[in-house]
Structure 1
Amino acid sequence: MDVDTILGLYAQGLFPMDEPGAPELPWWVADPRTVFELDAESLAAVRRRVQRSLRGGPDRVDWELRVDDAFEETIARCAQPRAPGDGVWLTPRMQALYRALRAAGNAHTFEVWVGGELAAGLVSVTIGRAAMLESMFHRVPHAGNALVALTLEALAGGGCALCDIQTATPHTLRLGAVQIPRAEYEARLRVAVYG
């Protein structure tokens, strides 16, 4: 599948999720769709929730956000099972898709570094002013939450209009993600991609 076809599918509101044994990479839709809002009030609320999650943790951690410094390591870590017996979502053909999109300038990694070490990372696909946060890992407590807050602030500061995470988890909802109807998502996506 070429990059233009992949970007066209994303622009229609689809997202890839591999299945064992599927002859071709499956593409999916979600209704409702889950997004992080990028207005100042929503960003401040996410930051407050992340700060609350740090209570009882380290007194002070200097989270450093970097972009694309460790693309391959982030992909590799996202491809590892999260717990024994878990499946692998980021399969070799998903990794190949992200590498192709990166070569075209449409895939990036956002990374949190602590003391010169990679603490957490996520893969994002970008088209126009839309960002789709695809997969994430963390190896330091609380680094994943810090990464979400810092990434959202960076996206908003860069002019991003829509931040999609496809489907909700209890954790992302606690952080401030919201669910919207598919039709609303697709309308907002068109504006973010095509202006």
Structure 2
Amino acid sequence: MDVETILGLYAQGLFPMDDPGDGSEPPSRELPWWIADPRTVFELDETSRAAVRRRVRRSLNARDDWQLRVSDAFDEVIARCAQPRSPQDGVWLTPRMHRLYRALHAAGHAHTFEIWTPDDDLAAGLISITLGRAAMLESMWHRVPHAGNVLVSKTLDALAANGFELCDIQTATPHTLRLGAVQISRTD
């Protein structure tokens, strides 16, 4: 698919999630696109972001010297997001998903938000697709305690500071709901 088609699908509220199947990627098989209803979002107004900061204040206090960077380690973040979290988990972020994100990155629509320690170590990262004033957060990983919470909070603040109005994470997890994500109808 070309970048414009991919962005058009995102604009309609769809998101890709590949199924590696047997590991082969026949060229005739299309990439699967999904719709979540309800959608899960983080609101970007100051009150909502302050609530997230309150929920993760211990993480922020423990790691106040960590720095947020954008796309400094794009390929590494994608590679880490592609690793299963446990042996029973499947992998939806396949090599062709990586290629899709690289194409979107080259066109200025895919970015990684990253948390770096003072020792210049990558502690956490997430993939984001941007379209207008909307950011779709696709996947996240962390390797250090507190890093994921710090990453979410600092990413939301960075998005708001740069004029974003929507932060869509597609589907909820118990953790994102505890952090303050809300579910809305797909129509909304």
Q: Give TM-score, length-normalised by structure 1.
A: 0.89
Counterpart-to-counterpart distance in 2, 1:149 and 1:102: 23
Shift of 1:59: 4.4
Shift of 1:32: 0.5
The match for 1:25 is 31
Shift of 1:61: 4.6
With over 3 angstroms needed to count, the CA separation of the structure-2 counterparts of 1:171 and 1:20, relative to structure 1, is same
The match for 2:49 is 43
Q: Which runs of 4+ in 1 moved over 6 A?
A: none
With over 3 angstroms needed to count, the CA separation of the structure-2 counterparts of 1:60 and 1:126, relative to structure 1, is closer
* 1:146 is aligned to 2:146: no
Gapped regions of structure 1 (runs ≥ 5)? 185-195
Counterpart-to-counterpart distance in 1, 2:186 and 2:104: 24
Counterpart-to-counterpart distance in 2, 1:144 and 1:60: 11
3-state DSSP of counterpart to 1:101? helix
Q: How many residues align?
A: 181
Identity %: 76
Please list the CA deviations of residues 78-134 of structure 1 after superposition, one character each: whole Å capped at 9, or x if unmatched: 111112232112111111110000000000000000121000000000011000000
Counterpart-to-counterpart distance in 2, 1:165 and 1:61: 25
Residue in structure 2 matching 1:113, options 106, 112, 116: 116
Residue in structure 2 matching 1:63, options 52, 63, 66: 66
CA RMSD of aligned residues (A): 1.5
Amino acid in structure 2 at the alignment position of 1:181: S
Q: Give TM-score, length-normalised by structure 2.
A: 0.92
Shift of 1:60: 4.7
3-state DSSP of counterpart to 1:85? coil
Counterpart-to-counterpart distance in 2, 1:59 and 1:178: 26
The match for 1:15 is 15
> Which structure features the higher share of helix residues?
1
3-state DSSP of counterpart to 1:110? strand
Shift of 1:151: 0.2
3-state DSSP of counterpart to 1:182? coil
Residue in structure 1 matching 2:135, options 131, 134, 137: 131
Amino acid in structure 1 at the alignment position of 2:11: A
The match for 2:176 is 172
3-state DSSP of counterpart to 2:160? helix
The match for 1:191 is none
With over 3 angstroms needed to count, the CA separation of the structure-2 counterparts of 1:90 and 1:60, relative to structure 1, is closer
Counterpart-to-counterpart distance in 1, 2:156 and 2:42: 8
Residue in structure 2 matching 1:34, options 29, 32, 40: 40
Shift of 1:19: 1.8
